[in-house]
A and B are shown apart, each in its own frame.
Chain A
Amino acid sequence: MNTVTVRTKLLASMALLVLLMAGAFFTLSRGYLVHQFRQYATTAESEEASQWARVIRFYYTSSGNSWNQTAPILQDLLREQSSEEHGDRTVTGLGPSSGTTKGSRVVNNQSAGGSGVTPPDGSTVQSAHSATNNSSGDQDEQVSRLIVVDSNGHKVLDVTSGDNDAPSAYTSVDTDSVHMVSYPLKIGSQFSGTLYIGDTGPGGLLSMESQVMRSMTFAIVWGMLLATGVALTLGYFLSKRLTNPLHRLSKAILQMGRGDWDVPVNISGRDEVGQLAKAFDQMRDQLRAGEHVRKQLVADVAHELRTPLTILEGQLELVQQGLKSASPETFVPMLDEVIRLSGLVEDLHQLSLADAGQLTLNRQQTDLTDIAQRVVENFSLEAESRQVDLAMHVEGSVDLDKPVGEILGDPHRMTQVLVNLVDNALTHTPSGGSVTVTLSSDADTVTVAVSDTGPGIAPEHLPHVFDRFYRADNNRSRTTGGMGLGLAIAKGFAEAHGGTIEVASTVGVGTTFTVVVPRRPATNL
């Protein structure tokens, strides 16, 4: 069998979940980090640019508004900064004049000790790399080039920190070849244009960023592998715990299908699987009981049918073989057997209707007292021949407006109930005993009790007396009782009326069957 087991599915879904979560975490955190980096870089750059703008403004004004005189100063400044950066990254003062201001003011960035550019007005220039110095030791970002373009688009200033050949490569402001930051430059009314600041290249922040990404990816991949491993191990044991009972259960079900009812499932626990096992056990018990009843029923029906058939066949054979004449009286007992068989078939039919809840009741005003009286009269000869005292009592009604036994019910079915009960009582009462039918009622119900002074029913048989074909005496015989269907039918008919039937018995004293029927059917029907 090539089936995908629950275990495989569980493990696969766990692994998939880990991968999915890792992927989502990676993508989200990466996007967030890049965003943060960009934002930080932009802020740092614009801050640096405004710092440089102030420096340029200062030198431009102090050199008499001449770009030509400003350029060398700025050139020196760039170079100096460049060399200092390489010498000491953390504490670097940048003054407008390298000689006078260098080291005069050291501004420490509180969050990360970084270099500051301190123009004369006292503000602090924080280079973008100040924040990164601590985390990254390699290439720093530095300002490598300064370009000023006036409002007409003419380049008025272009200085670089490196060799002097480099500027010649830039014939125009080319922001694509290097990373350039633009910043509006306005110096009083004398000048208005744009300042471009070039970084040393693609390193700096960008390399920082990629490095952080790299380590993050590394950490996530390893974390993911570890988490997957843990998840799979955990999942393995979990699924084993989960599927083992299921395996046992399916084995038990298969065995049950083969007719082996005694398969222990042995699953405890209150989780769903435990409940399933419990439900299975209950179902099996019910099925087993049902199977037992069914087998018993089939055997009993067969038994009840076989004996009359044997008799019929024997009698007919006697006629065929000439041992009996084919006179009318020969056929009378055969007819009896046929009637008995028909009655059995009819009884079984009624019972199955009652079982299926399809019994049709022909309800009408019926007085159970009349019915009981008639039944008792019909049985009086039988009782006499058995030397059993058959009597009837009617107890006064609480509600005097109504006859004691009046109900809205099917007289035919109720007669059947009483006939079966009285018949049962008579057959179980030895001669000299008595059978008493007692009627009583209250406003809503009528109660008929049939008591006998028979041998009683043992407690272990009591719950089964209404089962069809059930006989307390396992060796059934026709001298004690009919076919074992009477009480089952009485119960079915009483219940069809919305009533109940109960039995109470004391061994050696007697048995009482009590039928309680409501005066009218439940109104909600």
Chain B
Amino acid sequence: MAQRILVVDDEQKVLDVIQPFLEREGFQVRTAVDGKRALVLAKEWDPDLIVLDWMLPEISGLDVCRELRKDSKVAIILLTARSDEADRVVGLEIGADDYLVKPFGLRELTARVRAVLRRVQDTQEEPQVLRRGDVSIDVERFKVWRNDQEIQLTPTEFKILLTLAERPGVIYSRLQLSRAAMGTDYLQYERTVDTHISHLRRKMEDDPADPRIIQTVYGVGYRFGEG
């Protein structure tokens, strides 16, 4: 059964981009533009996780969070436009399970949603393993096999590979990969992605000079080869 996610943001346009993405990821998604409606939906619909914007008219996200925590253990991810340390601490203290600072990528949001759900629901699902042709990726344990042979990867290489492998055929720019693997602090080192890619190819490809798994799209970026 699909997990239910309630997304609350006063900006309809934000909801418009989050909803289709999470739905594509296999979640059931409903939205609310204010705290009042969010509280009603949370009670009636009983979602597994709530993505909650901090700044809401009338009832703020923090108040909604406090209200929910009175009688619910629903997973909550706070969205905030503020990166101040104090804000994060407050958010986590009043019972949010995670927070995400705007602007954020939809991939990152999905990853957080999954992580929080796993952590909170403590459901021992089968270990999540991505299978792409002869490549298998254990998302939990950071392990990669090719033809049942384990390949040793650095954490950065693993994250780049995972990002590409999650959506075979989708082209990712170096910046996107850089942020996915190393966070926003390393965006100026966009080109180091090339180095990591060449290491990955040396470890995984039959012929690194003619890559099949990780393909270069000239002038744009990289993609995971489909089959």
The reply to whether B24 and A307 contact each other, CB–CB distance below 8 Å, is no
Bitwise interface map of B from 28 to 60 toward A, beta carbon under 8 Å scored 1, else 0: 000000000000000000000000000111111
Q: Is the CB–CB distance between A310 and B14 below 8 Å?
A: yes
**Could you tell me the distance in whole angstroms from the C-beta of B17 to the nearest C-beta in chain A?**
3
Contact with A along B53-74 (1 / 0, CB 8 A): 0011111100000000000000
Stretch of A162-170, A251-259, A316-324 contacting B (4+ beta carbons < 8 Å) = A316-324
Indicate whether A478 reaches chain B with its CB closer than 8 angstroms.
yes
Asked if B103 is at the interface (CB within 8 A of a chain A CB), the reply is yes
Asked if B170 and A477 sit within 8 Å, CB to CB, the answer is: no
Which chain B residues border A313 with CB–CB below 8 Å? 103-106
A178 to B18, CA, bound (A): 124
State A307–B105 Cα separation when bound (angstroms): 12
The chain A residue sitting closest to B82, CB to CB, is A299
Residue count of chain B within 8 Å CB distance of chain A: 30
Given contacts A318-B21, A321-B167, A479-B10, contact A299 B84 (CB under 8 A): yes
B119 at the interface (CB under 8 A from A): no
Q: Verify if A333 is at the interface (C-beta below 8 Å from B).
A: yes
B contact residues around A477 at 8 Å (CB)? 10, 55-57
Q: How far apart sit A312 and B24, CA to CA, in the bound complex (Å)? A: 19
Given known contacts A306-B81, A307-B14, is B55 in contact with A475 (CB within 8 Å)? yes
| A302 with B170: CB separation less than 8 A | no
Would you give the shortest CB distance from B205 to chain A, in whole angstroms? 25
Taking a contact as CB atoms under 8 Å apart, the answer to whether A475 and B58 are in contact is yes
Contact between chains at A314 and B18 (CB < 8 Å): yes
Q: Is the CB of B11 within 8 A of A307?
A: yes
* Contact residues of B between 57 and 104, Cβ < 8 Å to A: 57-60, 81-84, 101-104
Number of interface residues of A (CB under 8 A): 29
Instruction: Give Cα A479 to B21, complex, Å.
Output: 25
Residue B13 CB within 8 A of the other chain: yes
Interface string of A305-348 (1 = CB under 8 A from B): 01101111111011011111000000001000100000000000
Chain A residues near B170: list those with CB within 8 A. Answer: 320-322
Interface string of B159-171 (1 = CB under 8 A from A): 0000000010011
- Asked if residues A307 and B81 are in contact (CB atoms below 8 Å), the reply is yes
Distance of B116 from chain A, by nearest CB (Å): 19
Residues of A within 8 Å of B56, CB to CB, are 475, 477
> Could you say which of A299, A337, A479 contacts B13, with CB atoms under 8 Å apart?
A337
Tell me the minimal C-beta distance from A460 to chain B in angstroms: 19
- Are B14 and A478 touching (Cβ within 8 A)? no
B121-146 toward A: CB 8 Å interface, digit per residue (1/0)? 00000000000000000000000000
Of residues 110 through 169 on chain A, the ones whose CB sits less than 8 Å from some CB of chain B are none
| Contact across chains for A480 and B57 when beta carbons are under 8 A apart | yes
Q: Is A303 an interface residue (CB 8 A)?
A: yes
Is A302 a contact partner of B105 (Cβ separation < 8 A)? no
Q: Are B21 and A323 in contact, CB atoms less than 8 angstroms apart?
A: yes
Please, which residues of chain A bring their CB within 8 A of the CB of B84? 299
Partner of A302, one of B11, B81, B171: B81
Q: Tell me the complex Cα distance, A28–B63, Å.
A: 87
Of the listed residues B14, B17, B59, the one surrounded by the most CB atoms of chain A closer than 10 A to its CB is B17
Given the known interface contacts A311-B13, A321-B170, A475-B56, the answer about A306 and B103 at a Cβ–Cβ threshold of 8 Å is yes
For window 276-318 of A, CB contacts with B under 8 Å fall at 299, 302-303, 306-307, 309-315, 317-318
**For the complex, is B114 an interface residue (Cβ under 8 Å from A)?**
no
Determine whether B107 belongs to the interface, using a CB cutoff of 8 Å to chain A.
yes
**What are 6 inter-chain pairs, A to B, with CB distance below 8 A?**
A313-B104, A314-B106, A318-B21, A475-B59, A477-B10, A480-B57
- Chain A interfacial positions (CB closer than 8 Å to B): 299, 302-303, 306-307, 309-315, 317-318, 320-324, 333, 337, 473-480
Residues of B at the A interface (CB closer than 8 Å) are 10-11, 13-14, 16-18, 20-21, 24, 55-60, 81-84, 101-107, 167, 170-171
Given A309-B103, A317-B106, A321-B21, 13 new contacts (CB under 8 A): A302-B82, A311-B17, A313-B105, A314-B14, A315-B13, A317-B17, A317-B107, A323-B20, A473-B57, A475-B59, A477-B55, A479-B10, A480-B57
Nearest first, the 10 closest Cβ-Cβ pairs linking A and B are A314-B17, A477-B57, A303-B81, A309-B103, A306-B102, A310-B103, A306-B81, A475-B60, A310-B102, A477-B10
